[in-house]
Structure 1
Amino acid sequence: MAFYDEMAVMALEMITEFGQPVLIRSITLGEYDPGSGLEPEETIVEQTAQGILLDFTGQEFQNNSLIKQGDKKLKIAAQGLAWVPGLLNKVIIQGRTWSIVPPLKEINPAGTPILYELQVRS
């Protein structure tokens, strides 16, 4: 096993121990059918990840004007994810739904995803 593969496994173990399960939900709308006039159906795909929900620091508020009051930082272990979280996904943590807002950071040394850092807004 390569060094960064081991780091990804270690990140998952640490976040599992000190974090909590997080549900990532992707909703895709189907195509509108003008013949039937029916609304397109949604396709919902979910995956469970391990994450840590944190507050932003005062320094981060000063350096990034895109952070709003109430926004949180969510760090998700990359190991074991079926797909990468995206800006159009929702995140459910302890029954509360959060939207992912830019920036979405991927910690990816040498091409091995270890951690995703998301800014989430309720």
Structure 2
Amino acid sequence: MAFYDEMAEMTLEMITEFGQPVIIRAFTVGEYDPDTGTAPPDSTKEQTAQGILLDFTGQEFQNNSLIKQGDKKLKIAAQGLAWVPDLLSKVIVRGRTWSIVPPLKEINPAATPILYELQVRS
């Protein structure tokens, strides 16, 4: 097993132990077909990930004007995800739904995803 694969596995183990399950929900809007004049129904897919929900620090507020009061930082283990969250995805933590706001950071050394760091807003 390569070094970064081991790091991804260790990250998942640590976040599983100290974090909590997080639901990632993605929506796909049915694309309109002009030939038939219809669109298929919208679809939703979900996956459960392991994450840690954190507050931003005072220093982060000073350095980043895009952070609003009430925003949180969500770190999600990349290993085992069926698909990658994007800015249109929603995350559900302890029954509360959060939107993902830019930036969405991927910790990905040597093309091995280890961790996703999201800024989320309720």
Q: Identify whether the pair has TM-score above 0.5, normalized to the shorter chain.
A: yes
Distance 1:70 1:106 in 2: 22
Distance 2:47 2:96 in 1: 16
Deviation, 1:32, is 3.5
Give the secondary structure class of the aligned counterpart of 1:6. Answer: helix
- Amino acid across the alignment from 2:91: V
Distance 2:39 2:111 in 1: 41
- Amino acid across the alignment from 1:89: S
Q: How many residues align?
A: 122
Give the secondary structure class of the aligned counterpart of 1:47. Answer: strand
Deviation, 1:11, is 0.1
Partner of 2:119: 119
Relative to the length of structure 2, the TM-score reads 0.94
Partner of 2:74: 74
Give the secondary structure class of the aligned counterpart of 2:11. Answer: helix
Partner of 2:84: 84
Partner of 2:31: 31
Deviation, 1:35, is 8.0
1:97 aligns with 2:89: no
Q: What is the percentage of aligned positions where both structures have the same residue?
A: 84
1:7 aligns with 2:1: no
Distance 1:31 1:5 in 2: 37
Q: Which runs of 5+ in 1 are unaligned?
A: none
Relative to the length of structure 1, the TM-score reads 0.94
Give the secondary structure class of the aligned counterpart of 1:44. Answer: strand
Give the secondary structure class of the aligned counterpart of 2:51. Answer: strand
Q: Which runs of 5+ in 2 are unaligned?
A: none
